Amino acid sequence: MTARDPTGFLGQEYRELVDAQANWTLHELAGPSTPWCTIDGRKVLMFCSNNYLGLSNHPRLRAAAEEAIRTHGVGSGSVRSIAGTMDLHLDLERRLAKFKGSEASLVYQSGFATNAGLIPQLVGDGDLVVSDELNHGSIIDGVRLSRAERAVYHHADPADLARVLDAAEEHRPEYRRILVITDGVFSMDGDIAPLDRIAAEAAKHGAMVYVDDAHGEGVLGEGGRGIVSHFGLGRDRVHVEMGTFSKAFGVVGGHISGSRALVDFAFNRSRTWLLSGSAPPPVAAACRAAIDVLENEPEHIRRLWSHTKRFQSTMRDLGFDLGASATPITPVMVGENAVARRLSARLLDLGVFALPIVYPMVAKGKARIRTIMNAALTDDDVGHAIAAFETAGRELGLL
């Protein structure tokens, strides 16, 4: 019998990704995530981080993290269900629930762990999950981990959601539970889910509503409270509000907000929560400080939107296709993978770091440069980015 290399497929499949220009190349960030930073040894303008409000280097967050190390150390020493629940974790959850206007909140180790851990517990055999066709990969994986049946509705289309839910009513045997799940802000296109109409359709059928608001927090709603606040929806309409501390909050970690019953259920059933070490003390303290900043320094959100409106208006006037963006996520649509990669490389030459998003992360022919605005940028920084896009766009025949 001829011996075979059981790992030979690894190199082969990677080479196929390279040939299709669909592989990722890692870039080294030396130092903090600031507007001007060092990437691969070059000083460039950061134009694609999720650090919407510039809080990852905010003095109040840094001071809170340093103090927590002094008082609590650098790790909790356990999972939260055994000996890893510190006063910092509990206080963070109380503060988050108050900020969100919910009965309770629960912090997970990451946003991905939140979706992967909770969705499979909310639905199972005899249930149905109804998902937007462009939902984030962590939602998709969470749904796959469940034993529920699955249905997909057209992107951000409440009428098609109604069609799917009407059909579900005819299913026999009758579904035990139906879960409707959507992103709040879609991370590749920057458009906003019509959550008010989605929730209304779900209510007609007695379905639960779960929104992943990772990219809406700190951006939408009163004081950055997110999409539920943005649409003025009650907790009787949106049952699970999921989010993450790794974007506008500037730190790391996932979370949910909702009823006390939801939180009690979630931490008893989510294996990603039960079997993962808890957030290190400086992380929990920095997340709590981020909430303080959102409550007391509204200028960050105002500046974020001011920069966004200027950038999008000028880019559209130049002739760039920005898709359906209605948020600080601004895709610059170019079509083919190779074109997106060339544009990104030229932007880097011009001092702007903005990466290409290509198939299979987006559909074929939908490659783009995904830019994300940052409140910490100056007006001159935004002008520099616009000028770089104009130069590169004309050189590549995009304008």
Q: How far, in Å, CA of 35 to CA of 360, rounded?
A: 29
158-198, pLDDT tens digit by residue?
A: 999 999 999 999 999 999 999 999 999 999 999 999 999 99
pLDDT of residue 2: 67
127 contacts 105 by C-beta, under 8 angstroms: no
CB atoms inside a 10 Å sphere around CB 4: 7
Domains of the chain: 14-46+298-395 (3.90.1150.10), 59-296 (3.40.640.10)
Q: Which of 187, 229, 270, 344 is catalytic?
A: 187
Q: How far, in Å, CA of 113 to CA of 300, rounded?
A: 28
Quick one: what percent of the chain has pLDDT higher than 90?
Answer: 93
Residue with the two structure tokens 């939180």 = 263
pLDDT band for position 17 (cuts 50, 70, 90): confident
52-74, pLDDT tens digit by residue?
A: 999 999 999 999 999 999 999 99
In eight-state DSSP terms, residue 55 is G
325 contacts 190 by C-beta, under 8 angstroms: yes
pLDDT of residue 294: 98
266-291, pLDDT tens digit by residue?
A: 999 999 999 999 999 999 999 999 99
Rg (CA), the chain: 22
288-299, pLDDT tens digit by residue?
A: 999 999 999 999
Of 366, 381, 360, 302, nearest to 331 (Cα)? 366
In the predicted structure, residue 1 carries a pLDDT above the cut 70: no
Sign of the alpha-carbon dihedral angle for 227, 178, 135, 148: positive
Q: Which of 58, 100, 136, 215 is catalytic?
A: 215
pLDDT of residue 360: 81
pLDDT of residue 19: 86
Q: How far, in Å, CA of 250 to CA of 155, rounded?
A: 29
Examine the residue annotation and report whether 384 is marked as an active-site residue of this protein: no
Q: Which of 100, 230, 239, 247 is catalytic?
A: 247
- Give the list of residues 6+ apart from residue 372 with CB closer than 8 angstroms, or none: 47, 48, 49, 50, 52, 328, 329, 330
Phi, psi at residue 87, to the nearest 5°?
-60, -30
Strand 104-108, strand 178-183: pairing: unpaired
In the predicted structure, residue 204 carries a pLDDT above the cut 80: yes
Angle, helices 158-169/195-204, rounded to nearest 10 degrees: 10
pLDDT of residue 21: 77
18-40, pLDDT tens digit by residue?
A: 888 778 889 999 999 999 999 99
Examine the residue annotation and report whether 215 is marked as an active-site residue of this protein: yes
Measured in Å, how far apart are the chain's first and last C-alpha atoms?
60
130 contacts 165 by C-beta, under 8 angstroms: yes
**What number is the average pLDDT over the span 93-116?**
97
In the predicted structure, residue 77 carries a pLDDT above the cut 80: yes
Report pTM: 0.95
